[in-house]
Amino acid sequence: MSSESGSPQLAVVINEAVQTLREGGLVAFPTETVYGLGADAKNPDAIKKIFTAKGRPSNHPLIVHLAAPDRFDQAQVDWMPVLAPWVRDLSEDALKLIHAFWPGPLTLVFKKDKSVLTELTGGQDTVAIRAPAHPIAQELLRKLKGGVVAPSANRFGKVSPTSAADVRSEFAGLLDLMILDGGDCEVGIESTIIDLSSGTHPILLRPGLITPTEIFAKTGIRVYSPGESNLSEQESSLPRVSGSLRAHYAPRTPLRMYSSGRVLDALSEFPDTKSRVAVAVWDSDSSLGDDGHPSVHFEEVLVPSDSTAFASRLYRTLRDLDQQDWDLILFPEPPSGEEWDGVRDRLQRACFGSGPSSSSHANN
């Protein structure tokens, strides 16, 4: 179902999607990060359909998506009524983060209200929440007047979808699915996840476009990384969250990263590599040239050397290459710096899970 934002046709399609959700059906919809596979967060049977459709382990929690309040004048926005049915308490830090970054690609983990279904929390006493910024997602949530759980609209462990066509190809023949087409996703990787459930330090559970430095600059709140030594007690009880398994976001084609200028070293780890290798190279670099490996046909694929543009194109590039029957895909290791942490995280998990046996890794 393709529609332009703001058109009368879109209103009809969104009303139909709301009806589908209310009746316990699934709706795929665009967010600014990736496409989500949505179900009514208050309907346990609908939530189970998500786990079945994706092949997702039932202890792997989902994120609840909520509509922003109608008033967008930041000084006037009151998030309390929106969050009250879902979370046990809202700290001052939580409200600062919400006012600074919602709607947007930031997920916050809270102690859950007792009414929140354990089906969506993976049996934990915490709930992950965000308000997506995409206008179609916001309109859908506003008209539903409720929460929607929406993991990425792909089969579990596979490359996340950033277009409606990706969702269609992912579930073709498997699922009678309503898909709201909102064009290509702008951010391109999943949201940053911050744990606020312990009440002591905010902890980064999944990197994304919004970095700890940006959070500190806008709010004065220091976000800790899980490895920091003064968090040892808190560490042992960190909640499980989406995208935290070692194998995830994975193409069927074997995927590896190479360090600068070391393409041939990466190849030598694959003595049985056949002849066709796709090599992603920075658009700021000179070409690889044909040196050094006579039996291999390389094809270069330019990738952006800007972290935001790289993230926006990452899953699109992985999906396209995965459909071209390469024997191996090589990606450059992202530079150091926390603006690259989100894509580095996705690439490491994609490498680990990639290859013909990726479905068995994903269940690991």
pLDDT in tens, the chain (364 residues): 444 445 778 899 999 999 999 999 999 999 999 999 999 999 999 999 999 999 999 999 999 999 998 765 556 688 999 999 999 989 999 999 999 999 999 999 999 999 999 999 999 999 999 999 999 999 999 999 999 999 999 999 999 999 999 999 999 877 779 999 999 999 999 999 999 998 788 999 999 999 999 999 999 999 999 877 565 555 567 898 888 888 888 999 999 999 987 887 777 777 665 678 999 999 887 666 555 565 678 889 999 999 999 999 999 999 999 999 899 999 999 999 999 999 999 999 999 999 876 444 444 3
Q: What is the pTM of this model?
A: 0.92
Task: Map out the domains of the chain as residue ranges.
Answer: 8-235, 255-362
Common-topology check for domains 8-235 and 255-362: no
Go through the chain and tell me how many residues it has. 364
Cα 278 from Cα 324, distance rounded (Å): 9
Does residue 333 come out as left (phi exceeding 0), alpha (psi in the -120 to 50 range) or beta?
beta
Structure-block tokens of residue 312? 């926006």
Q: Mind giving me the DSSP string for 232-247? A: HHHHTTPPP-TT-SSS
| Measured torsion, CA atoms of residues 319, 322, 328, 334, in degrees rounded to the nearest 10 | 0
- Which amino acid belongs to residue 149? V
CATH topology of domain 255-362: Rossmann fold (3.40.50)
Nearest-angstrom CA–CA distance, 185 and 195: 25
Residue 23: is it exposed, middle or buried by C-beta count within 10 angstroms (0-12/13-18/19+)?
A: exposed
Second-level CATH architecture of 8-235: Alpha-Beta Complex (3.90)
Q: Where are the beta strands (DSSP E) in the chain?
A: 27-29, 36-40, 63-65, 106-111, 126-130, 148-149, 178-179, 192-195, 203-206, 255-258, 276-282, 297-303, 328-332
